[in-house]
Chains A and B, each alone.
Chain A
Amino acid sequence: MSLARELRRKPEALAGLAFVLPMVALFLVVRVVPALGALYLSFTEYSITDAPRWVGLANYLRLLDDDIFRRAVWNTVLYTVGTVFPATVLALVFAMMLDQKIKGLAVFRTAYYIPAVASMVTVSMIWLYIFNAQFGVLNYALSLLSIPRQGWLDDPALALPSIILIGIWKNLGYNIVIYLAGLQGIPAHLYEAARVDGANAWRRFWSVTWPLLLPTTLLIWLMTGIFALQVFDQIFVLTAGGPADATTSVVFEIYRNGFQYFKMGYASAMAFVLFAIILTASLLSLRLSARAFRY
């Protein structure tokens, strides 16, 4: 009896393994092996023409003294914080407005989501034109208010904020969609109960909406935060890290060191620093959400 069952189950076990095998093999080859390779490379000096030379921790120690890399880490953190938080607040406001009986909800949602599906390169090209110091439409709008032209991407003080602005604009739609799903999951009777207890709109927000949306908020922070820490495409297209390294990012430095200067060992060490930053941020936000789910 049990043997018969075992035999009947054998094709199932075989099929299961066979079905997942291609994917597991692929991930081993394109994710695990390269990650281990990068770890090894980060302890070497490697310029692709000669064999890797073991240098121990030298790359990591050099990173500590690398002013440009420090600048890149700082810019990346600024970009992440500067996009994630405003995009969350704005998205929550718009999602709450959309969560009422709105005519044309689908049209609004589409309009808000369009920047999120367009590629970062396309979007950057468009903003390059809008931000243009001489003839850009943004400076034209300012001129109507008698404000002088700004070098949005040429001025070291303005370049990073300009890129952050694009980041907020691009993230908004995604955040709104996630928040809308979250808002629709809040049972209506909770609001009614709060109303019966005499809570005004402000109180209802802080005692019902906000705490119940906390897991949603943390999910948004996690997803858009990880994404923001990897900022690259728009920097490559808009400023190439300039002016005077004002907009360089960690991934931009990895690219520059790895594929322009061919310091692949050094670039791999940078990649592991990024890995550590992302891992820390993710664990932190997962920790927070574990706490938030206790509501």
Chain B
Amino acid sequence: MTGVTGPGRPDILVLADGHGQHSRCVALRPLVLKRIGRLLLYVVLMGGAVVMVSPFMWMLSTSVTPAAEVFAWPPRLIPSALRVDNYREALVKLDFSRYFINSLIVAGVSTLSVLILDSLAGYAFARLRFPGRGVLFSFILGTVMIPVQVTMIPLFIMFRAVPLAGGNDLLGTGGTGLIDTYSALIFPGMATTLGVYIMREFFSMLPPDLLDAARIDGCSEFQAFCRVYLPLAKPALATVGMFTFTESWNAFLWPLILTTKPEMRTLQLGLSSYKDQYFADWHLLMAAAVITSLPIFLIFLVGQRQFIKGVALSGLKA
């Protein structure tokens, strides 16, 4: 082998042997190959993107399809007429406006509570010295090991037996307790391990001198947290907020167990429960599916930088 054609470039070697115009071929062929390679790369990436997104395109197109065309063969991606009325029917006839409000209350209050409790705890674990700090933090992290499926049966029994709630007597019997209430839907998700972890990481990166300065200025511990550190933590709060809201909004198993009355259903529950009832009405079901996923998609699209950075940094599944 000659000095010019390194072992990493065998294509050049072959060409240089076969043709007289060394310099042109050496310069041109890799360039063309590279162009073809790049083109292929984009084609594969586009193909992948289409596969990933196309189910949502189907959802969107079916949601505005007239009822008669839902079973069309061949299936048509673009309906003959735009029927936006599907959405009105889904909201009114299928009662999805009620489910939407339920989901909003449950996810909204959960997120608010997580932001408060997780930032307080994350701040204390990162910045304050107090007895039992290490043990308590290990305890918080350790509870992740317990799957929700282990705790859900006793939790259901506990909520059902809350005294004086839902027609219960003092001993917690006779009624339904907190079953079918917002409180029970919200309570188990009022703080998250992931949130504490992210907040603690974030607060540890902030300079400790701020706290000393605040103390010298006469701030109480709580004021130092509220006025000095919390305003600096907006990016972390945004990440935790988006993760929590998404998870709470998408939750299915806990609301499924905890609600019996149709009017207490969340969106996810409403969607799955209408599957059998409105089996033929795919145009309505898909409109309902769009309504169900819209807030999450909006949050993701608006905050995706923060969102994806959060996923990549924590390595944790939102």
B180 interface residue (CB < 8 Å to A): no
- B72-A19 in contact (CB<8A): no
- A130-B58 in contact (CB<8A): yes
- Stretch among A59-67, A80-88, A154-162, A166-174 lining the B interface: A166-174
- A13-B58 in contact (CB<8A): no
User: A38 vs B44: C-alpha distance in the bound complex, in angstroms?
Assistant: 49
User: A69 vs B193: C-alpha distance in the bound complex, in angstroms?
Assistant: 31
> A130 with B285: in contact, given A19-B225, A135-B73, A272-B150 (CB under 8 Å)?
no
- A12-B130 in contact (CB<8A): yes
> A119 with B129: in contact, given A135-B71, A223-B317, A230-B147 (CB under 8 Å)?
no
> A16 with B124: in contact, given A119-B268, A177-B308 (CB under 8 Å)?
yes
Contact with A along B237-280 (1 / 0, CB 8 A): 00000000010011011001100000000001001100100000
User: A282 vs B147: C-alpha distance in the bound complex, in angstroms?
Assistant: 12
Closest CB of chain A to B257's CB: distance in Å?
Answer: 6
A164 interface residue (CB < 8 Å to B): no
Closest CB of chain B to A206's CB: distance in Å?
Answer: 16
- B8-A129 in contact (CB<8A): no
- B147-A274 in contact (CB<8A): yes
A1 interface residue (CB < 8 Å to B): no
Task: Number of B interface residues at 8 Å Cβ cutoff, please give it.
Answer: 94
User: A177 vs B256: C-alpha distance in the bound complex, in angstroms?
Assistant: 31
Residues of A within 8 A of B130 (CB): 12-17, 20
- Stretch among B19-27, B164-172, B286-294 lining the A interface: B286-294
- A27-B8 in contact (CB<8A): no
Closest CB of chain B to A191's CB: distance in Å?
Answer: 12
Residues of A within 8 A of B125 (CB): 20
> A20 with B52: in contact, given A114-B300, A118-B297 (CB under 8 Å)?
no
- B293-A119 in contact (CB<8A): yes
User: A11 vs B130: C-alpha distance in the bound complex, in angstroms?
Assistant: 10
- A34-B124 in contact (CB<8A): no
A115 interface residue (CB < 8 Å to B): yes
> A275 with B52: in contact, given A119-B252, A135-B71 (CB under 8 Å)?
no
Give the dominant DSSP class at B's interface.
helix
With both beta carbons as reference points, the residue of chain A lying nearest to B312 in the complex is identified as A181
B220 interface residue (CB < 8 Å to A): yes
Q: Which of A5-41 contact B (CB under 8 A)?
A: 9, 11-17, 19-20, 22-24, 26-27, 30-35, 37-38, 41
A274 contact from B62, B149, B272, Cβ within 8 A: B149
Residues of A within 8 A of B7 (CB): 198
- B304-A271 in contact (CB<8A): no
> A109 with B8: in contact, given A12-B129, A15-B128, A19-B128 (CB under 8 Å)?
no
- A115-B52 in contact (CB<8A): yes
With both beta carbons as reference points, the residue of chain A lying nearest to B116 in the complex is identified as A22
With both beta carbons as reference points, the residue of chain A lying nearest to B187 in the complex is identified as A30
> A125 with B275: in contact, given A20-B120, A35-B151, A224-B317 (CB under 8 Å)?
yes
Closest CB of chain A to B204's CB: distance in Å?
Answer: 14
- A23-B151 in contact (CB<8A): no
With both beta carbons as reference points, the residue of chain B lying nearest to A250 in the complex is identified as B149
Contact with B along A245-273 (1 / 0, CB 8 A): 00000010011001100001001100110
Contact with A along B124-165 (1 / 0, CB 8 A): 110011111100100110010111111111111110100000
- A123-B124 in contact (CB<8A): no
A212 interface residue (CB < 8 Å to B): no
A-B CB contact pairs (8 Å), 26 listed: A12-B128, A15-B221, A20-B121, A27-B143, A34-B158, A48-B160, A94-B48, A113-B300, A114-B52, A114-B297, A116-B318, A117-B246, A122-B268, A122-B293, A130-B58, A135-B72, A174-B317, A195-B8, A198-B6, A198-B8, A224-B317, A251-B149, A258-B152, A271-B147, A275-B147, A282-B145
Residues of chain A whose beta carbon lies under 8 Å from any beta carbon of chain B: 9, 11-17, 19-20, 22-24, 26-27, 30-35, 37-38, 41, 48, 94, 97-98, 100, 102, 106-130, 134-137, 140, 169, 172-174, 177-178, 180-181, 195, 198-200, 219, 223-224, 227, 230, 232-233, 236-237, 251, 254-255, 258-259, 264, 267-268, 271-272, 274-275, 278-279, 282
Give me the 3 closest cross-chain CB pairs, A-B, nearest first. A16-B130, A15-B221, A37-B154
